[in-house]
């Protein structure tokens, strides 16, 4: 009975091929159990995490590869028609390529998750936290694309004609999505240059505000005076001059006080001492304080005050506090300012922060 022939193979040969396939499945299951019970335990005892990652990520693809090779070897023991034998070789080749791509992507994903993600979290910028998942998906997609192209080639599909069709479609897609691509590379430029971080105040494209979010397409800024959210494309930011206000050493304040012509030398000196002392004693000013008597006109005796406000202090509150103290002490010491200013002065917008 075992010598009877079916489809150019005896029953014994069919049975032998079947037992080889079953043996490959059993071997794969045994290898999976061995890795889980023995090798994983050995890896946990080492100091490095790399071997734990590799063992955990390699076990399923390796077991799957052993089963595929067992099926291929079992079918090789049979005498198959050339068409069927060629189809078997192509299918096995495709399965092995896809299994290899699965193995490589699992290992890379684990390495990125174990090493690159914690490194991105330790950096000051939040942009790399957004880019790491994109990079991971891009690498994984590239590996699978290469694997699919190789598998299609081994399966006998004309890859060049398929790629030519994809190239035409890709060109049309690239033309339609060129702004998105430009914004993506703009975000890469921001990531590499790191001109600012989320939470910092910047001035760019005519806007002055605090950065609330940095995405792959745009950067969101909350304007200082209106309190509105403005989304600026990253390609525009990458091409613009960026002023990072948070990096300034302090905000310079220059003020002119026009005393009446009746003020004598002692009163002018006293006025400059009062200005210097008030600015120096304020808790939100820096140590640099400059005063001077720089102009004499028929209408006034002009003195100046120059001081710097700390970067993290409120500009408006500090200037209000200092000006009120100047008014009080000038009245206390009998120092009078001219009632009318004959020189037209252009006032800039008051900094409210």
Using one digit for the tens of pLDDT, what is the confidence trace for 161-210?
A: 666 655 655 555 555 556 777 777 787 777 777 788 888 888 898 898 89
Cα 317 from Cα 321, distance rounded (Å): 6
Query: Domains of the chain: which residue ranges?
Result: 5-174, 189-246, 249-332
User: What's the whole-number mean pLDDT along residues 307-320?
Assistant: 87
Identify the band that residue 351 occupies on the pLDDT scale cut at 50, 70 and 90.
very low
DSSP 233: E
Say what the pLDDT of residue 48 is.
62
pLDDT at 92 over 90: no
Q: How far is CA 259 from CA 165, 267, 334, 338, in A?
A: 82, 9, 11, 6
pLDDT at 340 over 70: no
Which residues share a beta bridge with 204? 207
User: Which tokens sit at 326?
Assistant: 């100047």
> What is the rounded (10 degree) CA torsion for 81, 86, 87, 93?
150
CA angle 81, 2, 16 (to 5 degrees): 60
**Domain 249-332 has what CATH class?**
alpha beta
Cα 163 from Cα 168, distance rounded (Å): 9
Q: How far is CA 174 from CA 159, 221, 243, in A?
A: 21, 28, 32
DSSP 216: S
Lowest mean pLDDT among 47-56, 81-90, 163-172, 208-217: 163-172
Cα 336 from Cα 339, distance rounded (Å): 9
Lowest mean pLDDT among 8-12, 44-48, 204-208: 44-48
Kindly state the greatest CA–CA separation across the chain: 133
* Percent above pLDDT 90 for the chain: 21
Identify the band that residue 307 occupies on the pLDDT scale cut at 50, 70 and 90.
very high
Q: Are strands 243-244 and 251-259 parallel, antiparallel or unpaired?
A: unpaired
Q: Looking at domain 189-246, which of 3.40.109.10, 2.40.40.20, 2.30.30.60, 2.60.40.10 is its CATH number?
A: 2.30.30.60
Q: What is the pTM of this model?
A: 0.47
Among candidates 195, 185, 175, which has minimal Cα distance to 233? Answer: 185
Identify the band that residue 15 occupies on the pLDDT scale cut at 50, 70 and 90.
confident
């Amino acid at each position: 009975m075992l010598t009877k022939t079916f489809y150019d193979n005896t029953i014994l040969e069919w049975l032998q091929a079947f037992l080889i396939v079953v043996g490959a499945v059993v071997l794969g299951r045994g290898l999976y159990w061995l890795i889980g019970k023995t090798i994983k335990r050995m890896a946990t005892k080492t100091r490095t995490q790399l071997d734990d990652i590799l063992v955990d990520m390699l076990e399923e693809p390796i077991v799957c590869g052993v089963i595929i090779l067992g099926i291929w070897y079992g079918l090789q023991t049979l005498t198959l028609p050339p068409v069927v034998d060629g189809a078997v070789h192509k299918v096995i080749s495709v399965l092995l390529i896809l299994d290899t791509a699965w193995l490589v992507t699992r290992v890379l994903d684990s390495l990125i998750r174990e090493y690159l993600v914690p490194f991105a979290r330790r950096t000051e910028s939040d942009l790399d936290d957004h880019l790491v998942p994109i990079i991971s998906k891009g690498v994984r997609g590239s590996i699978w694309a290469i694997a699919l192209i190789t598998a299609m080639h081994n399966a006998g599909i004309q890859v060049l004609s398929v790629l030519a069709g994809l190239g035409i479609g890709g060109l049309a897609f690239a033309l339609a999505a060129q702004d998105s691509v430009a914004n993506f590379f703009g975000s890469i430029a921001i990531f590499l240059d790191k001109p600012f971080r989320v939470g910092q105040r910047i001035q760019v494209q005519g806007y002055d505000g605090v950065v609330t979010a940095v995405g792959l397409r745009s950067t969101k800024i909350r304007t200082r005076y209106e309190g509105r959210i403005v989304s600026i494309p990253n390609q525009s930011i990458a091409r613009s001059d960026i002023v990072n206000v948070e990096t300034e050493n302090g905000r310079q304040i220059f003020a002119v006080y026009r005393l009446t012509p009746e003020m004598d030398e002692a009163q002018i000196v006293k006025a400059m001492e009062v200005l210097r002392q008030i600015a120096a004693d304020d808790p939100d000013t820096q140590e640099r304080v400059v005063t001077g008597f720089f102009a004499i006109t028929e209408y006034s005796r002009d003195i100046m005050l120059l001081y710097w406000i700390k970067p993290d202090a409120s500009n408006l509150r500090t200037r209000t506090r200092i000006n009120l103290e100047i008014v009080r002490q000038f009245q206390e010491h009998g120092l009078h300012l001219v009632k009318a200013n004959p020189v037209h002065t252009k006032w800039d917008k008051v900094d409210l922060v």
